[in-house]
Amino acid sequence: MTHSSSPTDGPVALITGGAKRIGASIATLLHQHRYRTLIHCRHSIAEAQALVNHLNQQRPESAALLQADLGRDDAIVPLAEQALAAFGQLDALINNASAFYPTPIGTATPTQWDELMNSNAKAPFFLSQALAPELARRHGVIINIADIHASKPLKAHTLYCMAKAANLMLTQSLALELAPEVRVNGIAPGAILWPDDPASEMDPDSKQALLNRVPLKRLGDPDHIARSALFLLQNDYLSGQIIAVDGGRLIQ
């Protein structure tokens, strides 16, 4: 498929949590491949706006910012409506936004349960549900960013791992229910970026110990996830798959 240089041409992708880290890498790569990009954020408005400005400098009117707290039930449908209104269509939904932090047994709270389940399972489901009619009309694609720890537990992260396990089943179940009009796949990152929040900070020895368990013996890069997302968008005979991008970690 070829596209003209018109900013009003080309498919449209919504990337939740698209302001930085993996989300920003996905948004940037898709934009380079003629996608118009909707950058969703919750708190990272400055980073999201900077990315939108950068993309629009490259191609005018090709990126827009959407702000919403996915933990709020009343935010999902308005976000979907704003996404559709931005460019008049939607071709891809990338459910990337995610909370991640440890919840050791004995310390976990209902609030942490809600935050981890909402961002990793509940919001992706209800956003997918809200956008399913448009994605079906456009023969679109949903990509859920899962985690290798959906199937390989991470110590002291039970709630997160449970939520990502739900995300994995969400991908497979939606792939069945939304076929044949909509394809649904997932990407399960391994060690791509070190956590950026203090609660999950790792010391150098812990980082090295983790990398020693990765057959490729090195940290990945957000671009590895972005390129996998582009592959899933372009290969129109893939659905219901979870691609582990983990340097071989799952086979250990």
Asked if residue 22 lies in contact with residue 189, where contact means CB atoms within 8 angstroms, the answer is yes
Is 160 catalytic? The answer is yes
Of 35, 101, 160, 237, catalytic: 160
Q: Residue 126 and residue 121: Cα distance in Å, rounded? A: 9
Catalytic residue set: 160
